[in-house]
Structure 1
Amino acid sequence: MLNKQQAMIAIHPYLNFAGNTEEAFRFYQSVFGGKFSTVSRFRDTAEASRLPHEEQDKLMHIALPVGRNTVLMATDALESMGHHLNAGNNFSLQIEAESTEEADALYRALCEGGKPTLPMMTMFWGTYFGMLTDKFGIQWMINYNFNQSISI
């Protein structure tokens, strides 16, 4: 359990789509307004060579700030990369931690009785990141941005 002096920056919804993330986020942008703060395509990653040509322009990550403290984020969860979407696994909650220590503590606490899916590690996009499913079946992403001045 975290002590009262530890505080997360925010919790953000992270959505998974079956190849139509861009269409969905253009719709959400028309509803909520604003500008995308991040748009990353699979073609720009090391994974590009594993994908069929027609999937390389799909979105690896997109972020749309919604309101003062919430960012709606998503990815194209591609079957060619082993993803199979069902109701219940089409979203995660992402926690923005304030330190790597807090990220590790949250990861350990939420993993208790659950299932780790990706251990906490420094990722190629420059954050400290991990994923898990808790004992209630909720998917979590824990993230610490080394450069806190950049909002994701």
Structure 2
Amino acid sequence: MNIHPYLNFDGQAEEAMNFYKKTLGGEFEGGINYFSEIPGMEISEEEKHRVMHITLKLSDEVKIMASDNMPSMGHQLTVGNHNYISLMPDSKEQGNKFFEGLSEGGKIEMPYEKAFWGAYFGSFTDKYGNGWMVNYTLKEGEE
């Protein structure tokens, strides 16, 4: 079984996913699908450019999916602290790269530093309101 976080945005899905791709790498799987592609659906010019679905494939097992809401359909985005994406990097340096890159313009809750449980850990809310945790578990002999 795979579990993929699915993020919702208010017109910023494409921008946010490009930002995540810039820092995390990966490729968009299947391109970017816009609401304008739905046959026979009448929507405003602004909503035509909203993302219906996008997948950032980081590996076969790890994908981040997203879409924009549709105000004309009664959708309303409520940003909160109900969801975090937890990254488990392969090295302390990779964790620092992810933390520094993704937290740019956001709000740091806990800086990326050595934690009492034998890991480097940090958490933040990115500039789009999504929560992230970066946790690198130290290997024996690492500081």
TM-score (norm 1): 0.49
- Percent identity of paired positions between Structure 1 and Structure 2: 40
Paired residues, number: 84
Partner of 1:21: 13
| Structure 2 CA distance for aligned equivalents of residues 71 and 17 of structure 1 | 17
- Aligned residue among 33, 44, 53 for 1:40: 33
Distance 1:10 1:30, change over 3 A: same
Does structure 2 retain, via aligned residues, the 8 Å contact 1:17–1:77? Answer: yes
1:73 alignment counterpart: 65
Q: 1:43 Cα shift?
A: 0.8
Q: Which one has the largest radius of gyration?
A: 2
For structure 1, the residue ranges without an aligned partner over 5 or more in a row are: 1-8, 92-152
- Among 52, 63, 76, the alignment partner of 1:84 is 76
Q: Looking at both structures, which has the greater relative contact order when contacts are Cα pairs under 8 Å and sequence separation is at least 6?
A: 1
Q: Which residue type is aligned with residue 65 of structure 1? A: K
Q: CA RMSD in A?
A: 2.6
What is the distance in 2 between the residues matched to 1:55 and 1:90? 26
Q: Which moved more, 1:72-81 or 1:12-21?
A: 72-81
Structure 2, unmatched stretches of 5+, are 84-143
